[in-house]
Structure 1
Amino acid sequence: MSVPARQVNESSGVIRTAVLTVATGGTTFLVTNGLDQPQATCIILSILIGGIVLITRFLIAFEKRLAEVEKLGAAGMADMKRLVGDAFFKISEATDLFGSVEASALQTDVVTQLVRNSTLISPDSPPIVHRFVEAKIKETSDFLKQLSDGSTVTYYGEDRDWLLGLTRHATASIDAISLASVDHDLWNSEIGLRYLDAQRRAARNGMRVRRIFVLERPDPELGAKLLGAYEEQRQMAIDVRLLVRSAVPTPLQIQLRDLVVFDDIVAYETTPTISDPHLAQVAETRLVLTAARVKDCSQMFRELWELSCEPGTGQRNA
């Protein structure tokens, strides 16, 4: 009930009580006066009975109001309990979340900075900004979940952030198998130059960086490009070898793919759209953390490394 309506009802109730009291007192006076009672008795009885009616009405109204107050009090108490419970639940949830952040391997400042910066997106920002930010946060959340599960993360198309990030943060080794059908234009592209520079820095810092260039078949044009890339990377202290696919044993033929193994822990795989090295593009990129599969990738690289050789020597190096 709205406040004005309640005020009208209360005013009407007061008027009704007053009218009823006066009517009762007046009726009592008329009755007692008609019975030839003394004037004083008529007045006293009128006042007494009118007062009784007034008090009775007051008690009834008071009881109703008290019941309403008790009802409101019970509802308010329930709301208060719910609010307090929700507040404690949120506090508990926030405490658990912060405890998880503190216990994680990630730096606490980095995680809290992400949360703090996400709150800086103004409510007045255009809808496209909200949707874009939410999509990126969800994408990052899903990515972290997949990494924590130790599974395989797939990116449809050519990735750059994973490749550059893993290269810059590797700590022990970078072992790469470069298929001509995938990497034919990589070394002259912007991402290829950044990738190569990151490998150069890693090799300069004493990290083991190895690469096997795999040719699908003898090709003078691709061969000239690979020799140029080979010489350039050799000068960067990167161990580089060449391998023709026909020299790969049959059991390894079906396993051969473009990949990079970082620290023997993470495998970065790319799949071409078509096998033609002049036309192929990257169809999808996979980040593999499954221990057994990464172990297989490392083993395959070691076997191919034994089969590969330096250009012009035709000899396999241990």
Structure 2
Amino acid sequence: MSAGDATRLIKSLSRVGQQGPEIVKAFARAETESLAFVLTDLTGMTAQRPRDNTEWLIRLTECARRTIDATSSSVDQPFRDTDSAKPYLDAQTEAMRVRDVTIRRLFIIKETEKNDPEFMARFLELCEEQRGFSIDVRYRVLASIGSPGRRNRRAAATRDVVIFDSELCLEFDPDQQDGNVKTRLDADGRRVDGEVRTFNELWSTATEPPAQGEPS
């Protein structure tokens, strides 16, 4: 923060504390404490929250300057029908249009879903919609667990991870009921490099969905 922004923040906090009603004071205190926790955690290049934090997702998309690589499992797909989906899409569109950010999205689907014609029709429509916004899209079918190598690739593919500028990862850890319960931010160079390599390996062997009108 600039000195002016820091001064403005302190003065605003003081003013709210003196004049605001109790609920506003409590909210301001909670927001300040949350920011302090995040910044303290980031001194160690990582931070996490025990919930699905779409605010981080949108804010990081607004901060990206070069690339956004996202792995989207079946956990992530229902998100696109929520109220947060449009602000996220708006942020991606602005990143591509204003800052020339390249976005790649790798969808992960299950074998049972691939064999379901109704699901595939909806899924390919989603892929076409994403490509209509200039997002590069591919998908992989989540294979059955077999060899240790396949188990490792399966574990990597079932996590929803977004990599920003190849320098920072945002990971959503699902619970057993396929709901996001923890959001983790990681800027440790070695771990991020590993995530970048994993994404590129998955992407290189993924399938590009057919264009609308082509046989699937």
Whether TM exceeds 0.5 here: the answer is yes
Distance 1:126 1:312 in 2: 57
CA apart distance, 1:230: 0.6
Matched, 1:244 2:138: no
State the secondary structure of the residue aligned to 1:121: helix
CA apart distance, 1:185: 1.0
2:187 aligns with 289
Distance 2:37 2:17 in 1: 24
What amino acid maps onto 2:92 in structure 1? Answer: Q
Higher-Rg structure is: 1
- State whether residues 155 and 286 of structure 1, in contact with CA within 8 Å, keep that contact through their aligned partners in structure 2: yes
Choose from 145, 151, 155 the match for 1:254.
155
Structure with the larger RCO, 1 or 2 (CA within 8 Å, 6+ apart)? 2
- State whether residues 70 and 163 of structure 2, in contact with CA within 8 Å, keep that contact through their aligned partners in structure 1: yes
CA apart distance, 1:124: 5.2
**Taking structure 1 as reference, are residues 312 and 128 closer, same or farther at Cα in structure 2, changes over 3 Å only?**
closer
Distance 1:171 1:124 in 2: 40
Distance 2:141 2:33 in 1: 43
CA apart distance, 1:187: 1.5
State the secondary structure of the residue aligned to 2:156: coil
C-alpha deviations, 1:98-124, integer Å up to 9, x for none?
xxxxxxxx3332222211211111435
2:87 aligns with 194
1:27 aligns with none
- State whether residues 213 and 241 of structure 1, in contact with CA within 8 Å, keep that contact through their aligned partners in structure 2: yes
**Aligned-residue identity in percent:** 30
What amino acid maps onto 2:127 in structure 1? Answer: Y
- State whether residues 212 and 305 of structure 1, in contact with CA within 8 Å, keep that contact through their aligned partners in structure 2: yes
Structure (1/2) with the larger helix percentage: 1
2:61 aligns with 167
Distance 1:307 1:218 in 2: 20
CA apart distance, 1:217: 2.4
Distance 2:119 2:198 in 1: 24
Matched, 1:232 2:129: yes
State the secondary structure of the residue aligned to 1:261: strand
State the secondary structure of the residue aligned to 2:143: helix
How many pairs were matched up? 202
State the secondary structure of the residue aligned to 1:269: strand
CA apart distance, 1:223: 2.6
Matched, 1:269 2:171: yes
2:102 aligns with 208
Q: Where in structure 2 are the equivalents of 1:65-214 lying within 5 Å?
A: 106-123=1-18, 125-150=20-45, 152-180=46-74, 182-205=75-98, 206-214=100-108
Q: Which runs of 5+ in 2 are unaligned?
A: 212-216
- State whether residues 184 and 222 of structure 1, in contact with CA within 8 Å, keep that contact through their aligned partners in structure 2: no
Structure (1/2) with the larger strand percentage: 2
Distance 2:37 2:81 in 1: 33
Distance 2:173 2:119 in 1: 19
CA apart distance, 1:247: 8.3
1:48 aligns with none
C-alpha deviations, 1:200-220, integer Å up to 9, x for none?
222224211101000122313
Distance 2:209 2:17 in 1: 59
- State whether residues 267 and 288 of structure 1, in contact with CA within 8 Å, keep that contact through their aligned partners in structure 2: yes
State the Cα RMSD in Å.
2.1
What amino acid maps onto 1:297 in structure 2? Answer: E
